[in-house]
C-alpha cells in the first residue's frame, strides 16, 4: 500500500540537506494539480509551465520526457492524489547566485485538497507578485495579503495595482460575467491552467470570452465574479471589498462544465 504523502527529489527520497536548502533558500518554481487514474486535465499546460519556468530561472529544462517519468514514479499506484512538481537547484545561493544548468525536480504527493469554497468574499490589496508570469515559490507578499484579508474579515485577497487595476488573486485567477461573456482582466499575472481550461471549454457551454483592462471602479458593470484554480474549477465571488454580487449558481455550473469538458491526459 502506497503512503498518502511522499516527497522525492529526482525520483529518490528527499534528503535532510535538500530539505535544509529548501527551507533556507526561496528560489524556484512549481505547478500542482489533481491526478485521477494516472491522468490530468491540462497536463500539457502544466508541462509547458515547468519547461518555460526552468529556462527562465535556471537556463535549462529537464525536458518533458524526464518530467513525465518523475511524475509517473511519484504517483505510483495511486488512483487519486494531488501532485506538486517543483524545480530548484542547491547550487544557487544568496552569496553565489550565478549558476546556470538543469534544475532538480521535487515531486510531492498528497491527498487531494478540497476546493477553496463555494462563495468567497475577497479584499482588494494593493500588491503585484514579482515576476507575475511565473508560478514561483516566493510567497511572502502573497501570504501577507491573505493575512491582511483574514484580519479584515474576508476570505482571501485580490491583487490590484496602485490605480485599482485588477490583476489576480493570491492562489487563483479572477473572472467576471457580463451577459453571456466571460471577461478576464488584462494585467501582469500568472496565466492559470484552470483559467485556460475554462477558456477552452466556453464555446461548448454557449459562452463567449474577452480580455480587457479593468479597475475596481468598473465592477458595477458585471453581473457576477468568480475565481478558479486547479483545486477549484469555478467558485463564486460574492463580494470584492464593498462591492457585492448576486448569487450565480447557474453560471458557475456552466463554468465548471466548461472546465470538465477538457479530457484527462495520461501522464
Angle among Cα 20, 72, 131 to the nearest 5 degrees reads: 55
Q: What are the pLDDT digits (tens) for 180-190?
A: 999 999 999 99
pLDDT in tens, 202-237: 999 999 999 999 999 999 999 999 999 999 999 999
For residue 2, is pLDDT > 90?
Answer: no
Domain boundary assignment for the chain = 6-110, 119-266
| pLDDT exceeds 90 at position 247 | no
The answer to whether the beta carbons of residues 266 and 39 sit under 8 Å apart is yes
Closest to 87 measured CA to CA, from 4, 153, 31:
31
Q: What is the mean pLDDT of residues 32-42?
A: 97
* Residues contacting residue 98 through CB under 8 Å, at least 6 positions apart: none
Q: Kindly tell me if the per-residue pLDDT of 111 is higher than 80.
A: yes
Band of pLDDT at residue 264, cut at 50, 70 and 90: very high
Query: Cell triple for residue 102?
Result: 538543469
More confident residue, 4 or 107: 107
DSSP letter (8 states) at residue 220: G
- What's residue 262's pLDDT? 98
Q: Has domain 6-110 been given CATH number 3.30.390.50?
A: no
pTM of the model: 0.96
CA distances from 133 to 7, 50, 124, 151, 191 (A): 26, 12, 20, 28, 7
Rounded Cα distance, 251 and 254, in Å: 5
Classify domain 119-266 by CATH number. Answer: 3.20.10.10
Inform me whether the pLDDT recorded for 140 exceeds 80: yes
d(CA 51, CA 85): 12
pLDDT score of 246 more than 90: no
Amino acid at each position: 500500500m502506497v503512503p498518502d504523502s511522499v516527497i522525492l527529489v529526482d525520483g529518490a527520497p528527499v534528503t535532510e540537506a535538500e530539505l535544509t536548502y529548501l527551507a533556507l533558500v526561496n528560489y524556484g518554481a512549481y505547478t500542482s494539480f489533481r491526478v485521477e487514474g494516472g491522468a490530468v486535465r491540462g497536463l500539457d499546460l502544466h508541462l509547458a509551465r515547468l519547461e518555460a519556468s526552468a529556462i527562465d530561472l535556471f537556463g535549462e529544462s529537464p525536458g518533458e520526457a524526464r518530467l513525465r517519468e518523475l511524475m509517473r514514479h511519484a504517483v505510483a499506484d495511486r488512483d487519486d492524489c494531488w501532485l506538486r512538481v517543483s524545480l530548484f537547484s542547491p547550487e544557487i545561493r544568496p552569496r553565489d547566485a550565478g549558476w546556470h544548468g538543469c534544475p532538480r525536480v521535487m515531486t510531492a504527493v498528497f491527498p487531494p485538497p478540497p476546493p477553496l469554497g463555494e462563495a468567497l468574499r475577497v479584499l482588494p490589496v494593493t500588491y503585484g507578485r514579482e515576476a507575475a508570469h511565473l508560478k514561483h515559490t516566493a510567497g511572502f507578499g502573497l501570504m501577507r495579503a491573505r493575512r491582511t484579508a483574514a484580519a479584515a474579515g474576508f476570505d482571501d485577497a485580490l491583487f490590484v495595482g496602485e490605480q485599482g487595476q485588477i490583476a489576480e488573486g493570491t492562489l487563483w485567477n479572477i473572472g467576471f460575467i457580463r451577459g453571456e461573456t466571460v471577461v478576464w482582466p488584462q494585467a501582469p499575472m500568472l496565466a492559470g491552467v484552470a483559467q485556460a481550461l475554462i477558456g477552452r471549454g466556453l464555446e461548448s457551454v454557449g459562452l463567449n470570452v474577452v480580455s480587457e483592462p479593468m479597475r475596481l471602479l468598473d465592477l458595477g458593470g458585471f453581473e457576477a465574479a468568480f475565481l478558479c484554480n486547479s483545486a477549484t474549477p469555478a467558485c463564486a465571488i460574492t463580494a470584492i471589498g464593498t462591492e457585492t454580487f448576486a448569487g450565480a449558481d447557474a453560471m458557475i455550473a456552466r463554468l465548471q462544465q466548461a472546465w470538465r469538458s477538457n479530457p484527462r491526459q495520461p501522464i
